[in-house]
Amino acid sequence: MTVDAGTGRVTGLADGANIIRIVVTAEDGTTEQTYTLTLNRALSAPAIATSVSIVNAVVGTAIVPVTIDSTRGTVASGYAISPEISEIGLSFSTTTGTISGTPRAVADEVTYIITATNTAGTNTATVTITVTLPPLPAIATSVSIVNAVVGTAITDVTIDSTGGTVSSYTISPAIENGLRFSTMTGTISGIPTAVADEVPYTITANNAATDVPGTAPVTATVTITVTLPELPAIATSVSIVKAVVGTAIVPVTIDSTGGTVVSYTISPPISPPIGNGLSFDRTTGTISGTPTAVADEVPYIITATNAAGTDMATVAITVTTATVDGTQVLNAVLPQLLRATTKITVDNISNRIDQALDASASTDARLNLGGSSTLQELINNNARTALQDGLDIKQMLNNSSFLIPLNVAGDNNYGANNMTLWGSGDYLNLSDDASGVDWEGEIVGGSVGIDARLSRNLVAGAAVSYSEGDIDYKRDGANNDNNTLTNTLTSVHPYLGYDLSQGGRVWGTFGYGQGEVEISDKINTVETKSSRDTELYSLAFGGSGDLLSSNSWLNLSGTTTLRLKGEVSLSNIKVDKSDLTDAKALSIDAHRYRIALEGSHNHTLASGASISPSIELGILYDDGSGDETGGGVELAGSYRYSNPQGLEMELRAHGLLAHESNYKEWGLSGLVKYRANSSGQGLWLSLQPAWGDTPSNVADRIWQPLAITDYANDEDSNGSRGLQLNTELGYGLPGFFGRGLLTPYAGLNMTNDTQSYNIGARWAIDSRLNLDLIGEHKQTDDSIQLRIDLKF
């Protein structure tokens, strides 16, 4: 019902009573009155039509429902149909007038009259329905022959139907032996349970057309034969598993080359986990998991079964605590440790060469080294430490940074007699994440050397370097932490430096060293250690040249210099095989190529002292073993001070700004230089690398030159020759009772296989008589010796 607000006209009244509510409001909006009107409309006779007028139905197929469209008058009394429609299998709704259902019999054309009734009258509509038979089915099986195997599911045999709609399927003879037949789809499926000879099965498709008497059946045939499978033939992917507590094993899988396996079992019994963190899959025969405890070797027998029989395979599993092969860690860490260690040595030597060729000779100085105010105090402190705890070169170098020119000849001329003792301590912090190992650590190292400025342009010497690197690491993806690697290395490096014309300089050094690398690997709560000896070979060379130099670039007195520097360092470290872990020997290369631009300023103070700050920007390329190769950019700086009394101090710092790998490096180092009197009393250092046997004490050679000559010329009776390095640091004092020279000393002796330390005192009473008291510590034993040398 609709009311027009403008005209008040009412349209769309329904049959019967229609209630209208009218609200009247005064013009001033203050008064409102509601009126209710009831309009009655007389009931109209029905007006209906069917949704379709003709239906061509098929036996066995549901028709599309025939519905009624009522356009007038409420049908209160319902609907009726004539003639009766249920005889052909269809149904009629007296409430809605709808015809629906599935015809079950053929019927000629029949016109059905549908009558709608209410109190006002009636109305009718007609629909004509004809029911015919469907087309005959046309079917075929997906395969005609099935060769089935006991225990193995067959590929489903399906029906391809291309004719009339099939209402149901039947099969003959009845199917059994683990197979199934679907009467709705005609599909054969299942797993045969027993051997069966060839049987042809006939599948019949049914619909209303096939039910007509005299109609030939519609069929398809499939022949099924069931035989035994092949015997299983299996093998395990490995026959021996050496598992490690806390580390997942590589799954042990089954290679099956015979008949299809129905199931797997394992003996000793495992239900379902193998125990100790391992599990066994009864479907695939796979063993996997992470062992949780140590276990002796157990042979496990895996049995594969099918209808034809069984086959077996064996795998022996042993679970031990982790053993440290360390190859992955060494390949990841040692190349960068080696580059860093080489950098310490090369920087110390190249800086020393620069100082030796730039500095003028001087003989007067005082010593303040490592917290000791005098040379005697330095010797005494080191002697006490060596006697109590053994001589710790790392501690000695790390606590002291020094440079000591010694005017042995007592003049300022060039030559082998005017030697310089020097030393430098360094610290580097470095980290990386490469080759599956995430690591971070530090290196503490230092060098002690002695050299001589043989001419104005040439310096030659040798240095002993010691370094210790302590690294914390974790393998990527591993459930481990608190792992450490410690690498110690002692090496000797002869070197040369030469000044070219026009401000150029070249230098070179080669080195040989020995050390040890120790890996401590912790998995869960199990910690294992492995140590392996190492042997170092290195070669480094470089050069520098002044590009520009001026006294007027900066608003300061002094000279500003721009210099180009380049260097190449080639290193190889050989790591012995490990008898503990069967790890093979390794040969690891670590090379670095570097070019840098250095700017420095040299300024002389009113006191005569000079300061020299510098800054350096370099480009480097790392090559060799490991994944952390590639280019990088480095920034370095230094500050040097020297005074006329012979005291020189220097502080150096450097760091990598960027690197192609994740490698990070920064470091600090410094030195103190002083000059001492060159009389027989005072500080001295002896360093002697040699092949073959040498006297057990380097200091002996200073007082016994003939012995040195014999050994150098190989005139002794021992034909065995090996690389040796003997060093000694001493300090000469007036002898007892004012006679001769008393020299306390400490020394390091290194051969291919062993190292030994000694500490003692020598009293040279006169040119013919020497007394020597020596305490020596070796890797195998300790000794105290009293030696008397008397010359006739």
Asked if 580 and 688 sit in the same domain, the reply is: no
Residues 471 and 512 grouped into a single domain: yes
Q: Return the amino acid letter for 784.
A: I
* 259 inside domain: yes
How many domains are there within the chain?
6
Last residue of a domain, one of 256, 287, 320: 320
In contact, 761 and 744? CB cutoff 8 Å: yes
Given the DSSP bridges, would you call strands 179-181 and 188-190 parallel, antiparallel or unpaired?
Answer: antiparallel
Query: Are both 339 and 302 inside the same structural domain?
Result: no
What CA–CA distance (Å, rounded) separates 111 from 83? 8
What's the CA angle centered on 167, arms 163 and 173, to 5 degrees? 95
**Phi, psi (5° rounding) for residue 8?**
80, 10
Looking at the structure, do residues 157 and 303 belong to the same domain, yes or no? no
Residue in the structure block whose two tokens are 């349970």: 193
65 and 148 both lie in a single domain: no
What stretches in the chain show pLDDT beneath 50? 271-273, 324, 360-380, 382-387, 391-401, 408-410, 675-679, 691-722
Are 755 and 619 within one domain?
Answer: no
- Domain assignment present for 657: yes
Per DSSP, 699 falls in state H
How many Cα neighbours within 13 Å face the side chain of 505?
24
Q: Assess if residue 379 is contained within a domain.
A: no
Query: Nearest Cα to 420, choosing from 180, 646, 707?
Result: 646
pLDDT at 365: 39
Edge-to-edge strands of the sheet including 723-734? Answer: 682-691, 723-734, 741-751, 755-764, 769-778, 782-790
Tell me the HSE value of 173 on the side-chain side, using a 13 A CA sphere. Answer: 7
Biggest CA–CA distance in the chain, Å, is 163
Please check whether residues 647 and 508 belong to one and the same domain: yes
Same domain, 440 and 534: yes
CATH number at residue 217: 2.60.40.10
In a domain, residue 378? The reply is: no
Specify whether the CB–CB gap between 215 and 204 falls below 8 A.
Answer: no
The token pair at 130 is: 């004809």
29: three-class secondary structure by DSSP: coil
Tokens 């199934």 -> residue: 180
Among all chains, which residue has been given the structure tokens 């390091």?
A: 748
The CA–CA distances, whole Å, from 562 to 541, 602, 613 equal 21, 12, 12
Give the pair of three-digit tokens for residue 182: 């679907």
3-state secondary structure of 1: coil
Say which amino acid occupies 94: T
How is residue 508 written in tokens? 């070179």
**Residue 750, strand partner residues:** 725, 755
- The domain boundary residue, chosen from 93, 112, 132: 132
Locate 759 and state its tokens. Answer: 């500490």
Counting Cβ atoms within 10 Å, is residue 334 exposed (0-12), middle (13-18) or buried (19+)? buried
State the DSSP string of 710-764: HHHTT-SS-----EEEEEEEEEEEEPGGG-SEEEEEEEEEEESS-EEEEEEEEEE
- E-strand stretches of 551-647: 559-575, 586-604, 610-624, 630-642
Residues 89 and 238 in one domain: no
Residue 186's pLDDT is 95
**CA–CA distance, 36 with 16 (Å, rounded to integer):** 16
Contacts of 13 (CB under 8 A, 6+ apart): 1, 39, 41
Per DSSP, the chain holds a count of helices (H) and strands (E) of 5, 48
| Tokens describing residue 458 | 């040439």
Cα torsion at 17, 23, 24, 30 (round to 10°)?
A: 160
How many angstroms separate the CA atoms of 639 and 600, rounded? 9
Same domain, 118 and 174: no
Q: Is 119 a domain residue? A: yes
| pLDDT computed for residue 387 by the predictor | 47
Instruction: Please provide residue 42's backbone torsions phi and psi, each rounded to the nearest 5 degrees.
Output: -70, 145
Backbone phi and psi for residue 95, each to the nearest 5 degrees, phi listed first: -85, -40
268 cis-preceded (ω within 30 degrees of 0): yes
Q: Compute how many other C-beta atoms are within 10 angstroms of the C-beta atom of residue 393.
A: 20
Q: What are the angstrom distances between the C-alpha of 351 and each of 347, 368, 568?
A: 6, 21, 15
Give CA separation, 78 vs 100, 111, 119, 126, in Å: 17, 20, 11, 16
CB neighbours of 719 closer than 8 A, spacing ≥ 6? none
Whether a cis peptide bond, with omega within 30° of 0, leads into 695 is: no
Q: Are 401 and 670 in contact (CB under 8 A)?
A: yes
| CATH number of the CATH domain containing 586 | 2.40.128.130
pLDDT for 364 equals 39
As a three-state string, the secondary structure of 272-340 is: CEEECCEEECCCCCCEEECCCCCEEEEEEEEEEEECCEEEEEEEEEEEECCCCCCHHHHHHHHHHHHHH
DSSP letters, 376-387, are HHHHHHHHHHHH
How far does the chain reach from its first CA to its final CA, in angstroms? 149
Same domain for 460 and 488? yes
Specify whether the CB–CB gap between 570 and 607 falls below 8 A: no
Contact 590, 641 (CB under 8 A): no
Residues 614 and 628 in one domain: yes
Structural domain including 119 reads: 47-132
Cα distance between residue 684 and residue 381, in whole Å: 17
Q: Which of 649, 673, 697 is the last residue of a domain?
A: 673
In a domain, residue 388? The reply is: no
Residue 477 in domain: yes
**pLDDT value of residue 724:** 61
Cα dihedral value 581, 582, 585, 588, nearest 10 = -50
Would you say residue 376 lies in a domain? no
